[in-house]
Structure 1
Amino acid sequence: MRAYNDVKAEPQKGREILPAGGYVARVQAAMVENTDYGERLVVYFEICEGDYRGFFQKDFDAQTQEDKKWRGVYRMYLPKEDGSEKDGWSKKTLGGVIWSFEQSNPGYHWDWNEAGLKDKLVGVLFRNKEWEFNGNTGWTTECCFLTDVDSIRQETFRTPKDKPLKRDSGQNNWAAQADDSDLPWKS
């Protein structure tokens, strides 16, 4: 083998995954962005208390690819005011987000200015989420809900359920696809 430049003998480390659960976070920025589906609120945050304080900055600093990503993000689609069931769900979710910020920041009242969320505290809840990419699967965590900081500090929150990939019934289950008539324990 030939010698290569800039090769260091060092261990390969996988990216640390934040455990599912609740964390107190401080908002770094918030904005409304337009997507093909509609507007969504995007809140960028950093964990500011506990064992994982500064987690997302450390994760960002450790990334070596050109298109680094900040992974402390909560996204929610905003209501479309179309009267649909999804619109009702979006309004209920937005109401929960507003409540979470007002409860977490004494004296703060929602004023429909998302930029004003910068430096506000909020509780963030992470769940385990299964992913699939190019035929490979695995698990990571994602921020799926916002809540008040007191429920995080007092540990009265409920960790959200895991979110496995949606699978067609029996599609990926070999036992459901196999003809088991010749198995020795079947009669």
Structure 2
Amino acid sequence: MIKGLCLSASAAILMAAPLCAQNTRISEDRDAFSVSLNGVSVRIERSGPACPPACLQPMQAAPGVTTIGELEILDFLDLFVAAGQGLLIDARLPAAYGSETIPGAVNVPAATLQPGNQYRDDLLNALGVRNGDFSAAYDLVIFDGGADAPAAAEAVRDLLGAGYPATKLKYYRGGLSAWTGAGLSIAQGQ
């Protein structure tokens, strides 16, 4: 879409387009970014999915939780998942997970980790937590659709709130979009 393009109501209906195409927010607290570099004004805007909910996420999901990239995921699959000590978690909804995911990932939608979920204790138990003891809990890498998807960061924060140790959590901010953008294999979720 062209910035500032406005259509008549009938044309918008025929094209299934908004009446006025507009840029979207960069993050919940930032519409755009402007800076002067060597006397030249530079403005950065964002177009694409509406923010919220599709706001750019910070590089670090929470204090103490390491953000990782693709090579670290390969190492995690080899060292933790293959040894039965870790899980690669796709925090997206089941339909998105079922369509495509990172090979070896399991689906734990972020909403299931929220404090209000009546089954959260059962889920924590499945992750190796026993009566509030996290010593045998799985190491987890959590991802979602990409840098503008909030599910993985929310899941990390909810797990921390439940007492999960930050040392057992890793955040893959790039998510599926960075994974596919790097040309890496994808799988259909089970």
TM-score interval, normalised by the smaller of the two chains:
under 0.3
> TM-score scaled by structure 1?
0.24
Comparing both structures, which one devotes a greater share of its residues to strand? Answer: 1
Comparing both structures, which one devotes a greater share of its residues to helix? Answer: 2
